[in-house]
Structure 1
Amino acid sequence: MVTMVGNESTFDKLIKDLIYLEYDAIAAYESTIERLDDKTLSAQVASFREDHLHHLATLNEIATEAGIEAPIKGDMKQMLTTGKIALADLMGDGTILKAMRTNEDDTVTAYERASQHEDARPETKAFFMKAHQDEVRHRTWFETTATAL
């Protein structure tokens, strides 16, 4: 699924959409952790989930500082991200990891775009760039690990 997050014309909308994206990602991570048979894989996925929790906390701080009313839960996309994981579960751990890799495509793209948003302050852009690096790392691990299974 292709995301439009990061293309927002206003900073307020960008932050809100990134928060929704993080809630959706966290839900997908939790679903993945529950469904993986290999507990070593689950532990690594749990560490990536922690990155998303940190991203969410930072985005909420940015929202507070900017006077933006932050969402408090995910949106309808959450059903798509977690549903994809539930279907993949029928095929095993490798397929679950491949499904998560496609979810990571959205977060990689969103943070890459966000780091270029003209209304973001330098420290906010730095956070977006760090989050982008985290997401690239996650996606690479999902791809490499799924291929090896």
Structure 2
Amino acid sequence: MAPGPTPRDLRNEQSTVQTGVVYDDKLLTVSFGGVVTNALASYTRGQTVSVKFWGGHPKNNLRRQGSYLQVQRKSGTSWVTVANDWDWETKYRWQRYDCAPTYGCSHVTTEWTIPADAVPGTYRIRHDGDWKSGWDGLIRPYSGTSREFTVN
């Protein structure tokens, strides 16, 4: 069977009613990627690890070829990624709120429900994101990691 006609490419003709990100902000005493609520020291399989970070708006970089969230296991002196934000056992939540005296602050909450077949060992949660400056409009990357925790 012969292929049909090729549809027109309309990617550059799309419009949206959503506004772009104006800027991201945080308190002066913290950094983007800084931990707000950290992981516990240890967990067992079936429990959920939850870590909250200071973050930027996810629309600054949609990470189509990457991830906002990585669960990493220590292997010798390096870290190996065992789960990402697209895995069923993980959740990524972004929330904007006012953090007076400034506005436009965000928290990113990452969760990992430890699977029954998880290898016992030392783990951490890593969050990667991008924040937009209100001064120069530039978008800059950041990352943050939780404390190390053990899975038994």
Normalised to the residue count of structure 2, the TM-score between the two structures is 0.32
Which protein shows a greater Rg?
2
Normalised to the residue count of structure 1, the TM-score between the two structures is 0.32
- Which structure: greater helix fraction? 1
- Which structure: greater strand fraction? 2
